[in-house]
Amino acid sequence: MDITWLCNSTFLIKNSMGKRILIDPLNRLFSHNIDTIKPNIITISNFSPGVFTMPNIDPSTTLITSSGEYITDFCKVIGYDTFSDHFKGAKRGNNIIYVYEIDNLRLCHLGYLGEDLSDDVLKKIGYVDILFIPVGGHINLNGIEAFNLYKKINPKVVIPMNYKHSLSSFLFNGPQDFLLLTKNSYKIKADSFNISKDTILQTGSSVVLKPVKEI
């Protein structure tokens, strides 16, 4: 599968058959053209009109904005309710963690998670091959909090997201606090990379991508 980082928590996942999952499409501040991307599935982790766009999507596209289990012809998506802060959502609202079972891999996207996860939620998430984790602080986990949770989930590969970079500061700190604690970081000078069940063990434990400049 191909994994492309568009910006912040926004990723495009394309499986071996060309089917596409668009995660957290950003608002009008970022000119991501959903008609060009042509996603089969869109998932949104923290529904807020001020953050994520709700475009007029093709009727054949599956739009997922709430927790639960969703099964399509090429993957399974499971959403778990969490919070974007340490106060049960009182400050920044709810958040949905999504687990995607696709191409014989389990991907977990933590969205704008702002709290530690209970043992019950960790058990539900279960085994993870690739983890997308926010590390920039302020409106979600900071680097140290993210590292502590990363150790609990213990994925084969972790991809940090929601941090300050050349295209967007967006209230975030940089990824340094998280990356200094992780080992075997693999920085890719591109916005995407290809990974499969056969090649995942050849990938560094922490993968750092460059955001897409435009689509």
pLDDT tens digits, one per residue of 127-158: 999 999 999 888 899 999 999 999 999 999 99
pTM of the model: 0.91
106: nearest Cα among 123, 131, 129: 129
pLDDT at residue 107 tops 90: yes
Write out pLDDT tens, residues 44-67. Answer: 998 665 555 565 678 899 999 999
pLDDT for 29: 46
- Let me know how long the chain is: 215
pLDDT at residue 35 tops 80: no
First to last CA, the chain: 19
What's 136's DSSP letter? S
Q: What is the mean pLDDT of residues 76-103?
A: 93
pLDDT for 89: 77
- CATH number for the domain formed by residue range(s) 2-208: 3.60.15.10
pLDDT for 31: 46
Contact 145/119 with Cβ under 8 angstroms? no
Instruction: Give the pairing of strands 185-187 and 105-109.
Output: unpaired
172-202 burial, b if ≥16 CB within 10 A, otherwise e?
bbbbebbbeebeebeeeeebbbebeeeeeee
